[in-house]
Structure 1
Amino acid sequence: MTDSTIIYTHTDEAPALATYSFLPIIEAYASKAGVEVETRDISLAGRVIAAVSDLLPEDQRAADALAELGELAKRPEANIIKLPNVSASVPQLKAVIAELREQGYDLPDYPEDPQTDEERDVRARYDKVKGSAVNPVLREGNSDRRAPASVKNYAKSHPHSMGAWSSDSKTKVATMGVDDFRSNEKSVTLEADDTLRVELVGDDGSTTVLRESIPVLAGEIVDATNINVAALREFLTAQIAQAKADDVLFSVHLKATMMKVSDPIIFGHVVRAFFPKTFAQYGADLAAAGLSPNDGLGGILAGIESLSNAAEIKASFDAELADGPALAMVDSDKGITNLHVPSDVIVDASMPAMIRTSGHMWGPDGQEADTLAVIPDSSYAGVYQVVIDDCKANGAFDPSTMGSVPNVGLMAQKAEEYGSHDKTFEIPATGTVRVLSSAGAVLLEHTVAQGDIWRACQTKDVPIRDWVKLAVNRARASGDPAVFWLDADRAHDAQLIAKVQQYLGEHDTEGLDIRIMSPVEATQLSVERLRQGLDTISVTGNVLRDYNTDLFPILELGTSAKMLSVVPLINGGGLFETGAGGSAPKHVQQLVKENYLRWDSLGEFFALVPSLEQYATATGNTKAQVLADALDRATASFLEHDRSPGRKLGTIDNRGSHFYLALYWAQELAQQSEDSELAGAFAPLAQKLSDAEQTIVDELLAVQGQPADLGGYYQPDPQKAAKIMRPSTTFNEALASF
């Protein structure tokens, strides 16, 4: 890798498959402009192999590409295009290990209950791969996410479907409000560099060290909080009864991928609360068999088959399913409920989809129905309730007239806000958790009971200062109000507000509309302006960044995958993320079933433009800028001609959309006047692709409808995947000869 290389990441599921089709186009076009493009494998499979690489045979080892890119992100020459990746839950982690073992990798099993030093070492390695392990490493800058003008204009002229809302809809959000993470939060700003220690002082006088060393910097905000599990169980039991009384679907919405310790535990409590009789009678049997409710109902049902009383346990689950409220479904045809897999119903994607669909989710009868959406922690549950109330009062939003809510998100240098995995604990004994300075002073403390979930997080000062600067710059560039979504009554936010007010003083804000409002108030303002066709910049912490960059784009654009997502890195350089659309496992399932990939690569097209622009600026390569400008125009043509993947067989899918992007890009390059050499190079290709358009489309359509063998889900066979994703011989030959 040179100091002027674009790194295109190889990730997971649908984005990874799309890469097999789109990357050859990028490489062919970039080579004509002297632009270097390399790939790095940060897929879940690649990260698992890297985590235990030194334990594998020499020929199975792999470098830690994520660590390499993490170091690159701290340097001014960084130019990384980052596609969505899997944030692995425990079931997913076990699945990828099993698949890699089937492919011949000599991987150790995931130790459920490590007993030896060797097992503890393996468990620690695998645990580093779990959850949102990629983003904190690469995000050495704050987030700037917005809908490009071309996408917004397309959505207005081609509005997507929106379900009708009724004023008497029974859909609502249920949240704790007391004894939860928000209400128990305490926060402090450190005056000097230090090393903190976390310990549990038991009521019996014992002291257990939970975390020996947490390095902190001067000006860093440190939070701690806990959720009271007894109160959580009482709350969940009440909501299950309420859903049945109101005759609505019961659903729970968590973030079991990012919050990979706390939310799976909470999910497990939901499963227990829904099936109290079953766990009272058979809980010991399930635990003895290594079956945990934290992994979901699906894992339990799959695992009980070997038990002698499997039929009894299954009958008990069925009886309580029949007796309880109707469960919201992930796939009603297959009987997959909201409680089957913790990573199936992620709040930032599931709630906007429900709001877009009349406030409905799918029931076990295959019909839509009003829903009680349970979001236990109250930190941001009110945001969704405001939008639901607005839709009840004013009807569905109109994509043809509504405004936009771009986002400036605080995420640099692992700005946590929600509690980091290595500082989250299920409390083993009743007592007091204390966060101590190196001098032994108690900075934060909580009284806890056995089973409570306690967590701490850190937010460094430098990213906060950069976040404020980015918000001011966006407000000045757009002329729109910039609203910091911060609640003065929340401990963490109160510390942030003090810093925001201080750092705003470092900028010329004359004539700018910059406000600080609680998330509920900010949501109310934003939706009012949305209906007036006005834009409002949301300036948020890391969790709301995730929530808002799904919620508003799904309402505005029908998807969150079409966002421009730029991360200006603090030390210079850029990370260019390809939208917020997740890794789309359902798309992969459809491809395997009928050789049709619905993934929309528009986010990749958008990310490539600023990446090429940065390359041009860093290297002085004017051809790279010509490539970028032509791609920008080509993407507009792509949207005008509606070349995004269709939704059913017989229409072009992801591969067809890549062909049309290549055609329009070549045509723009052939017609541009800035670089006659490039124009001359691309003119024959543009003509060849144009002449062969129908042949290429026919070849792409011809493969649809048959099963596709990828040779692996988490790690497809590269040759099989390339063959599946590049089925047009005519198109392949045109690129090869070019």
Structure 2
Amino acid sequence: MAKIIYTHTDEAPLLATYSFLPVIEAYASTAGVEVETRDISLAGRIIAQFGDRLSETQRIDDALAELGALADEPDANIIKLPNISASTPQLKAAIKELQEQGYDLPDYPESPATEEERDARARYDTVKGSAVNPVLRQGNSDRRAPAAVKNYARTNPHSMGAWSADSRTNVATMGADDFFSNESSVVIEGDDQLTIRHVATDGSTTVLKEAFGVLDQEVVDASVLRAAALDEFLAAQVQRAKDEGILFSVHLKATMMKVSDPIIFGHVVKVFFADVFERFGDDLAAAGLSPSDGLASIFTGLKELPNGAEIRAAFDAAIADGPELAMVDSDNGVTNLHVPSDVIIDASMPAMIRTSGQMWGPDGGQADALAVIPDSSYAGVYQAVIEDCRAHGAFDPTTMGSVPNVGLMAQKAEEYGSHDKTFEIASAGTVQVVDGSGAVLLEHEVQPGDIWRACQTKDVPIRDWVKLAVTRARASGAPAVFWLDESRAHDANLIAKVKRYLPEHDTDGLTIEILPPAEATKYSIERLRKGEDTISVTGNVLRDYNTDLFPILELGTSAKMLSIVPLINGGGLFETGAGGSAPKHVQQLVKENYLRWDSLGEFFALAASFEHLATTAGNARAQILADTLDRATGTFLQENRSPGRKLGTIDNRGSHFYLALYWAEELAQQSEDAELAAAFADVASTLRADEQTIVDELLAVQGSPADIGGYFRPSGDKATAVMRPSSTLNGVLDTLSV
């Protein structure tokens, strides 16, 4: 039997799965397609790491490892929903919830001192940050706005803030002594084993990473961000924001860059509150209160300290005396510095740009802001968009073009694969990357506190990335621009490879450019304003940034993108969009039984999954399901059946009902398979006849609190009851068979 793997993830996407998966299973069964689930949620990943401590009924398999192996198989067909890329505070919160649910898990050891604590820390570190995506993404990324979504956005434009030519919003970045400026890169000649070591000034050597394999023609990079320069830069930006009378904000990726960016975030907190840490730093450290965890964690911990009130008063005084902080939640006093995972650059910067270049301030109003992005590798992208909006005003969703993306991400490519090779340096000396013969390939002088990292990019993914870029340019007719800067060491090596591999493909009549990121941005947005499309062909981090930046401007959200990952060995991974708003949706559901999560990304991924299955397995009915689902999704958009914004309108569950209705009607009307049409004729007519009854049943539950049994690990029975409240709809799905 043909098979689709549907992932159980976290937060709003997980809750939506309880409602939508029964529809998928029922409809897929008519094509002989089995839908299986795998739990790759944060809680599930934690539990899988500690099976030796749990009862037999609590243990679960390591689904992520299983899917990682499956992704290398030619028949892989995986639908991957957004998951939590856990920061340390999120990880600790998930552990606490699981402990309260009866799981015998150790606390997260901040400073492991025993062998048992070191073992626990190592297990938890496999779960933290971007633990899922590098494992599953064994192919490069093809991400674009489906035509139906783009057309809907043009006829039903989302709101855009009005930009002023006098806007004082800007990006601040280091430009020196950061990862960009200190990067060195080498192309490996022949398979080898590399080791990373620290040679102290006294000559003693410490191995930071034991020998790891590299392949012939692999690109290996190393760089260092200097802590002293970072602190000097940050202090200048705090003063600049105060002098200019604008909000201070920092924009990092403390989830995906799970080692480097939390450290950088901690530097921001320490510099902003320099006087507080000078007076009370020893007290905070002794209590295990780290600036890298943010103000929320510190403030909670202060309640347990004898002088906690005094320290809290010092923090409050520093906030009052410094520049105004950008806010995550003005009503509840949650600042930009409260939680490292609250302000994720690829979501926060596009939101700022969309809303006139402003962020929320302490007074609950919007104001211009200084966006601090310490490393300068990609900061110029956002500055270029800001300058364009300052000069030309906000973009117009009714006329603007599109910037689809082809992203290099296969096999842990580039910075997002650097976690196990990133270190906060303990002592002065030199960090070296040496090959199997002991020869030094890359090295940097370092001082205590510096952040050093290395990363790998294999040749096969690069070659595949070039092929995918040409394929998309040929299919769409749009120019393809490689966002690569020859002045950056890594990019210079990639440019040489791109120029070597492009002649392997038919590029006649295609426009293919290579431009530095800031110049590529200007080129793309100039075309964007003319209503023209431009393919951005980028590395892994810019893939992440661009597939939020441009969709949020074009469509109002990045959750409605078609995201296909053609796996290198022939399988398919189909992603359903971003999950940045997922936490707020869960809070609303628990409070008033209303889920605003939009499953449109799931609809597109499912159609692409069926289409892939039809091609690889020769399943004609799977192709019919794909084609009819595409048409049903078009009707869904035309009829505006996405979740509403307030109680009394249909939410996520209602949107699933209407998708099921339109899909059934399309299946009943198709002429390729009479038996299939006959089976869905009854379903379609019943759903249409019972439309009001089903809607009434779905609306009736709104307004009261909902008990789902947990945030990180909801109870399956409770979540099912909450997300499937229409007995009429449930009954129709239960009767479907062919």
Say whether the fold is shared (TM-score over 0.5): yes
Output the amino acid matched with 2:650.
I
How far off is 1:57 after superposition?
2.3
How far off is 1:533 after superposition?
0.1
Q: Is the 8 A contact 1:84 1:583 kept in 2?
A: no
User: Which residue of structure 1 aligns with residue 165 of structure 2?
Assistant: 167
Residue among 227, 234, 237 paired with 2:235: 237
Q: Is the 8 A contact 1:667 1:686 kept in 2?
A: yes
User: Which residue of structure 2 aligns with residue 622 of structure 1?
Assistant: 620
Measure the CA separation in 1 of the matches of 2:533 and 2:598.
Answer: 25
Unaligned runs of 5+ in 1: none
Measure the CA separation in 2 of the matches of 1:419 and 1:607.
Answer: 25
Measure the CA separation in 1 of the matches of 2:529 and 2:598.
Answer: 27
Paired residue secondary structure (1:400)? coil
User: Which residue of structure 1 aligns with residue 329 of structure 2?
Assistant: 331
Q: Within the alignment, does 1:257 sit opposite 2:261 as a pair?
A: no
User: Which residue of structure 2 aligns with residue 198 of structure 1?
Assistant: 196
How far off is 1:625 after superposition?
1.1
Measure the CA separation in 2 of the matches of 1:578 and 1:562.
Answer: 8
Residue among 217, 220, 228 paired with 1:219: 217
Q: Within the alignment, does 1:576 sit opposite 2:570 as a pair?
A: no
User: Which residue of structure 1 aligns with residue 38 of structure 2?
Assistant: 40
Measure the CA separation in 2 of the matches of 1:620 and 1:498.
Answer: 40
Measure the CA separation in 2 of the matches of 1:110 and 1:389.
Answer: 44
Q: How does 1:160-559 map to 2 (within 5 A)?
A: 160-418=158-416, 420-559=418-557
User: Which residue of structure 1 aligns with residue 67 of structure 2?
Assistant: 69
Q: Is the 8 A contact 1:85 1:583 kept in 2?
A: no
Residue among 665, 668, 690 paired with 1:667: 665
Measure the CA separation in 2 of the matches of 1:192 and 1:624.
Answer: 44
Output the amino acid matched with 1:183.
S
TM-score, scaled relative to structure 1: 0.99
1:616-665 deviations in whole A, cap 9, x for unaligned? Answer: 22222211111111101000000000111111111111111000000000
User: Which residue of structure 1 aligns with residue 586 of structure 2?
Assistant: 588
Measure the CA separation in 2 of the matches of 1:418 and 1:70.
Answer: 17
- The Cα RMSD (Å) is 0.9
Q: Is the 8 A contact 1:559 1:581 kept in 2?
A: no
Paired residue secondary structure (2:198)? strand
1:429-451 deviations in whole A, cap 9, x for unaligned? Answer: 01111111111111000011000
Q: Is the 8 A contact 1:569 1:575 kept in 2?
A: yes
How far off is 1:113 after superposition?
1.5
Q: Is the 8 A contact 2:648 2:702 kept in 1?
A: yes
Output the amino acid matched with 1:66.
L
User: Which residue of structure 2 aligns with residue 561 of structure 1?
Assistant: 559
Q: Is the 8 A contact 1:86 1:583 kept in 2?
A: no
Q: Is the 8 A contact 1:669 1:679 kept in 2?
A: yes
Residue among 686, 690, 693 paired with 2:691: 693
Measure the CA separation in 2 of the matches of 1:59 and 1:204.
Answer: 54
Measure the CA separation in 1 of the matches of 2:586 and 2:561.
Answer: 21
1:196-232 deviations in whole A, cap 9, x for unaligned? Answer: 1111111122211111112100000000001010010
Measure the CA separation in 1 of the matches of 2:481 and 2:690.
Answer: 50
Measure the CA separation in 2 of the matches of 1:712 and 1:567.
Answer: 32
Q: How does 1:84-103 map to 2 (within 5 A)?
A: 84-103=82-101
User: Which residue of structure 1 aligns with residue 639 of structure 2?
Assistant: 641
1:63-101 deviations in whole A, cap 9, x for unaligned? Answer: 000000000000100000000000001111111111111
Output the amino acid matched with 1:350.
S
Output the amino acid matched with 2:683.
L
User: Which residue of structure 2 aligns with residue 682 of structure 1?
Assistant: 680
How far off is 1:103 after superposition?
0.7
Output the amino acid matched with 2:282.
A
Paired residue secondary structure (2:303)? helix
Output the amino acid matched with 1:491.
A
Q: Within the alignment, does 1:13 sit opposite 2:15 as a pair?
A: no
Q: Is the 8 A contact 1:13 1:583 kept in 2?
A: no
Measure the CA separation in 1 of the matches of 2:635 and 2:319.
Answer: 51
Output the amino acid matched with 1:316.
A
Measure the CA separation in 2 of the matches of 1:51 and 1:491.
Answer: 38
How far off is 1:498 after superposition?
0.4
How far off is 1:106 after superposition?
1.1
How far off is 1:557 after superposition?
0.2
Measure the CA separation in 1 of the matches of 2:36 and 2:692.
Answer: 32
Structure 1 stretches of 4+ with a deviation exceeding 3 A read: none
Output the amino acid matched with 1:477.
A
Q: Within the alignment, does 1:702 sit opposite 2:700 as a pair?
A: yes
Output the amino acid matched with 2:135.
V
TM-score, scaled relative to structure 2: 0.99
How far off is 1:107 after superposition?
1.2
How far off is 1:419 after superposition?
5.6
How far off is 1:54 after superposition?
2.4
Q: How does 1:43-54 map to 2 (within 5 A)?
A: 43-54=41-52
How far off is 1:614 after superposition?
1.6
Q: Is the 8 A contact 2:222 2:453 kept in 1?
A: yes
User: Which residue of structure 2 aligns with residue 722 of structure 1?
Assistant: 720
Q: How does 1:111-122 map to 2 (within 5 A)?
A: 111-122=109-120
Paired residue secondary structure (2:270)? helix
Q: Is the 8 A contact 1:189 1:220 kept in 2?
A: yes
Query: Matched residues, percent identical?
Result: 75
